[in-house]
Amino acid sequence: MFRKILIANRGEIAVRILRACRELGIQTVSVYSEVDRTSLHVLLADEAYLIGPAASRESYLRIDKLMDVAKKSGCDALHPGYGFLAENAALPRACTDAGITFIGPSAEAMEAMGSKTAGKQLARRANVPTVPGTSDPIENPEDAQALAQNMGYPVLLKAIAGGGGKGMRVVPSDAAFRSAWRDAASEALNAFGDPRVFLEKYLIGPRHIEIQILADAHGRCVSLGERECSVQRRHQKVVEEAPSPVVTPELRRKMGDAAVRLGRAGGYVNAGTVEFLVDADLNFYFLEVNTRLQVEHPVTEQVTGLDLVKLQIAIAAGHRLPFAWETITPRGHAMEVRLYAEDPDNSFFPSPGKIISFRAPTGPGIRIDDGVYEGWTVPMDYDPLLSKLIAWGNSREETIARLRRALDEYTITGIRTNVSLFRRILTEPEFLRGEIRTTWLDEMLARPYPPAAPPRPGTEEAALIAAALWHSAQSNASAPGGTEPQPAPSPWKMEGRRQQMDHLP
């Protein structure tokens, strides 16, 4: 087993990895940028080293600095977390050169599976269903239309050279095919100087369901079941759960087999996730592979009882997986919400700043993977993920009830969070019935807010009394000779932010 692990990340995932190391008796080394000196992952680590200014490209993305820290502190392994360099094949290569074990797949497996196109080719070779269509351009519209008829409408036309939605057209019916083809091709020509398009089946309201796999270096590759991640805002997952409300044991087995087949075909070792789109008829299509730990890995941990980070470390140390796929029996239901420092009532604007007060829910069935504490200033330089709130229950209903209870107990002041978004999602009838798809949340947010349940009688009066009492305490405290406990005043917060801004390039 390793003696000391470098955690090449920050925030909640760095803390998560650090906790696993501590439980395994492994020393931890954190790295930090100038604005992260007081971050939780620095406080909890055994050792921590400054690696540069706030901007990621000058700190958390600097492989050379990471290698310097690893060597100087005597680390024998490195965990990349997610984001930053986690899917950059240059990092495992640098680790190999430095004689440090990278906790993740090999550079080769990362490249073979990580990119969308390489992954799709591998999927075809491994006989894993992909979205029907061509990946080569089609020369003439007649062939294309025949193919579309064959495939069934709607279909999607996509520019070969495409990106950002240019040269893309949804074709709802055969009648619309010819004009859509002309539009797509001419738009593609204008945008990329290349008119060629190809054809894909257009999935209506698909779900995003992914399979967690684990593979050791001794040829065992297992599926730990699925996660349902269809609740997304602008392609960003915000609620994840396991099991999926629609996956049957039969489908679970089929998707798990496909994911394992893909993992084997790519020579994959360590933890990885195979993402699928699932249509209304429960057909599944390969989307991409994430060659790393996912943000939402805790929901799989809660239903399987496994600790994925510890297993990643054990696999990297050359251990054999101690179980077969058949022995993994998910229990109950788990759901995660991602708490962000952003204001759902104000266009989801980011809300960095000093956390004035913070009380996190606890009790039965509640887990928090956190990266923040009271008094800490959330820097404006990174992803706004504060913590993940994860609930477990015997049923989906109990899990949702626990999550709602926990959200009601979660209080934080000084910054805004998206807690109210989850309060709303967790009462939407469609969500409660599990009728969700990747477009569902954006559609929900586009609808006018339903009239809120009126606050219970007395709330208004209580608010008035609180406002008056707080205001008078504030005035007393700021008056000379005031004896009240001094709530951090607004100017102080402002100053904290200003100091932090001064660190910016």
Partner 1 sequence: MKFEIQLTGPGVKRKHVVRLERNGDACSSVAIDGEAIDANAVQIAPNAISVMLGGQSFEIHVSRSVNGALKLHCGAHEFSADIIDPRAWRGRKHGPVEVEGRQEILAPMPGKVVRLLAAVGDAVEAGQGLVVVEAMKMQNEIRSPKSGKLERLLVREGQNVNAGEALAWVE
Residue number with CB closer to a second copy (288 or 301):
301
- Asked if residue 73 binds partner 1 (CB under 8 A), the reply is yes
Stretch that binds partner 1, among 316-324, 360-368, 433-441, 490-498 (CB under 8 A): 490-498
Of 20, 112, 156, 262, the residue at the interface with a second copy (CB under 8 A) is 20
- Asked if residue 501 binds partner 1 (CB under 8 A), the reply is yes
Which tokens in the block code for residue 489?
A: 């005043």
Other C-beta atoms closer than 10 Å to the C-beta of 194 total: 15
Residue number with CB closer to a second copy (124 or 320):
320
Given partner 1, a second copy, none, residue 423, with its beta carbon under 5 to 8 Å by kind, binds partner 1
Smallest distance, Å, CB 86 to a second copy?
A: 19
Given a second copy, partner 1, none, residue 16, with its beta carbon under 5 to 8 Å by kind, binds a second copy
Backbone angles phi, psi at 247, to 5 degrees: -80, 125
* Binding positions for partner 1, 401-460, rule CB under 8 A: 408, 411, 413-414, 420, 423, 452, 454-460
Stretch that binds partner 1, among 177-185, 206-214, 263-271, 380-388 (CB under 8 A): 380-388
Angle between helices 107-114 and 90-98 (to 10 degrees): 170
Helix, strand, or coil (residue 245): coil
- Asked if residue 22 binds a second copy (CB under 8 A), the reply is yes
Residue number with CB closer to partner 1 (422 or 440):
422
Alpha helices by DSSP H, listed for 170-246, are: 177-192
For β-strands 4-7 and 77-79, DSSP reports them as: parallel
Of 1, 3, 23, 37, the residue at the interface with partner 1 (CB under 8 A) is 37
CA–CA gap between residue 75 and residue 86 (Å, rounded): 18
Given partner 1, a second copy, none, residue 472, with its beta carbon under 5 to 8 Å by kind, binds partner 1
Give yes or no for a contact between 347 and 418, defined as CB atoms under 8 angstroms apart. Answer: no
Helix, strand, or coil (residue 44): coil
Tokens 């939605």, residue located: 165
CA dist 245 to 132, 199, 346, 444, Å?
Answer: 25, 31, 31, 19
Residue number with CB closer to a second copy (93 or 423):
423
Tokens 């495992």, residue located: 92
Of 360, 412, 436, 444, the residue at the interface with a second copy (CB under 8 A) is 360
- Asked if residue 376 binds partner 1 (CB under 8 A), the reply is yes
Of 142, 318, 467, 492, the residue at the interface with partner 1 (CB under 8 A) is 467
Of 68, 279, 343, 398, the residue at the interface with a second copy (CB under 8 A) is 398
Of 257, 383, 398, 428, the residue at the interface with partner 1 (CB under 8 A) is 383
- DSSP letters of 69-81? HHHHHT-SEEE--
Which residue is catalytic, options 207, 252, 292, 437? 292
Bridge partners of 389? 337, 368
CA–CA gap between residue 471 and residue 466 (Å, rounded): 8
**Residues with Cβ within 8 Å of residue 418, at least 6 apart in sequence:** 238, 338, 339, 340, 342, 343, 344, 348
Does the bond joining 330 to the residue before it have cis omega, within 30 degrees of 0? no
292 classed as catalytic: yes
- For residue 34, the Cα-to-chain-centroid distance in whole angstroms is 25
Smallest distance, Å, CB 296 to partner 1?
A: 19
- Asked if residue 363 binds a second copy (CB under 8 A), the reply is yes
Catalytic residues: 292
Q: What residues line the site for a second copy (CB under 8 A)?
A: 15-16, 19-20, 22-25, 44, 298, 301, 305-307, 331-332, 359-360, 362-370, 373-374, 394, 398, 401-402, 404-405, 408-409, 485-486, 488, 492
